[in-house]
Amino acid sequence: MSHKVTATILLTAASLGEQVQDPALDMIVGIVLPPDSTPASDEYIVNFVVPVSYGWTGISMGGQMSNSLLFTMWPYNGEIMLGSRWTNDYVLPLPYAGPKITLLPASKINNTYINAIFRCQNCTVWEGGSLGSGDLDGTAVLAYVASTDVGVDDPSDIDSSFQEHNNFDFFGLDLSQAHSSSYSKYIGGGSTTSAPSGPSSTRVPPSTTTSAPQATQTAYGQCGGTGYSGPTVCASGFACIAVAPPYYSQCQPSK
Ligand code: HEM
């Protein structure tokens, strides 16, 4: 099968831990790790911003399709459908139990973008591989994929089958720059959540389009861009950054 790889990668050591923006595909992948610790933490936060018009999109945390922790994402009725998958071949990856995915409240979906911000626990090691090949201060090769035109077979089902992506590209992230002392703040004060584990099927309600004038946007929430009508002022410590002008601005740490 042939693939169209159009991406030109702009690697930025951005404030959201480490992130990569693909201007051609109009997608952003960012990752934040907890501070280094012994033993090492098994979790991280991923920020995945993609056009809502795409059929489905995905991330490979190991940089290849086989033997990697894969995330799949698509919109359904104004909700974000986000799951973990795994395969050892170039075939439909199946739902993968083990990773515990929690969409954080700052996640948003509107008529233009999905902005998913999710915590993934038990996610640094998976069958056949590990993030950064086990070095959480080294360089990790990740990949993203998109099916820009064709949706999944049943978008209401997190375990839906689908056809092959028509785009993929790789990128490297310097994990040593991705650790943040604000990690527990991002996940909501470090409280433990008790969502059921197993193959994740996580949803957030559609974002509201009206907000009180004095409302401030939360960490990594949208704060501007074409068609956006929500809060444009960020919470304390965050600044509104045009990450994909003119379409999308996001609250990112101001220092
Ligand atoms: C029905 C579903 C899928 C099929 C049939 C499929 C098939 C393929 C094929 C044939 C290739 C090799 C293409 C080439 O080298 O030109 C490939 C590459 C790739 N796929 Fe998929 N894929 C599927 C789903 C996924 C998903 C869900 C992800 C991640 C979330 C993913 C991630 C990748 C990546 C990162 C590559 C490039 C690196 C590599 O070759 O391992 N794929 N896929």
- For residue 85 and ligand 1, the question of a CB distance below 6 A is answered with yes
Alpha-carbon distance 138 to 176, whole Å? 6
Q: Render 216-234 in DSSP notation, one character per residue.
A: EEPTT-EEESTT--S--EE
Helix H or strand E encompassing 125: strand 125-126
CA-nearest of 229, 232, 235 to 254 is: 235
Per-residue pLDDT of the chain (255 residues), as tens digits, is 333 332 222 322 334 557 888 888 999 999 999 999 999 999 999 999 999 999 999 999 999 999 999 999 999 999 999 999 999 999 999 999 999 999 999 899 999 999 999 999 999 999 999 999 999 999 999 999 999 999 999 999 999 999 999 999 999 999 999 999 989 988 884 434 333 333 333 444 444 333 334 577 888 888 888 888 888 888 888 888 888 788 788 888 876
Q: Is the CB of 143 under 6 A from ligand 1?
A: yes
- Residue 66 CA: nearest ligand 1 atom is 41
- 162 Cβ inside 6 Å of ligand 1: yes
Helix (H) or strand (E) holding 240: strand 238-244
Structure token pair of residue 222: 């949208």
pTM of this structure? 0.76
C-alpha 153 to ligand 1 mean position (Å): 17
CB distance 185 to ligand 1 below 6 Å: no
DSSP character for 119? E
Contacts of residue 82, defined as CB under 8 A and 6 or more positions apart, other chains included, come to 71, 72, 73, 101, 103, 116, 118, 158, 200, 202
Query: How far is it, in rounded angstroms, from Cα 37 to Cα 52?
Result: 37
Distance from C-alpha of 58 to C-alpha of 162, rounded to nearest angstrom: 12
**3 Cβ closer than 6 Å to some ligand 1 atom:** yes
Residue 188 in tokens: 């909501």
Give residue 143 CA to ligand 1 midpoint distance, Å: 10
What integer pLDDT is reported at residue 131 of this predicted model? 97
Structure tokens at 150: 């064709």
Task: Look at residue 205 in the predicted model and tell me its pLDDT.
Answer: 42
Give the start-to-end residue ranges of the domains of the chain.
10-205
137 lines ligand 1 (CB under 6 A): no
11 forms bridges with which residues in the sheet? 20
Per-residue tokens: 23: 């201007």
In the CATH scheme, what is the code of domain 10-205?
2.60.40.1210
pLDDT (0 to 100) of residue 242 = 85
Q: Quote the CA–CA distance of 50 and 113 in Å, as a whole number.
A: 6
Q: Which atom of ligand 1 is nearest to the CA of 64?
A: 41
Complete DSSP assignment for 38-78 = SSPP--EEEEEEEETTSSEEEEETTSSSTTS-EEEEEEETT
Q: Which 3 state secondary structure label does DSSP give 195?
A: coil
How far does residue 246's CA lie from ligand 1's centre (Å)? 31
CA distance readout (Å), 39 to 122, 136, 176, 186, 193: 13, 12, 16, 21, 21
User: Mapping DSSP to helix (H, G, I), strand (E, B) and coil, where does residue 139 land?
Assistant: strand
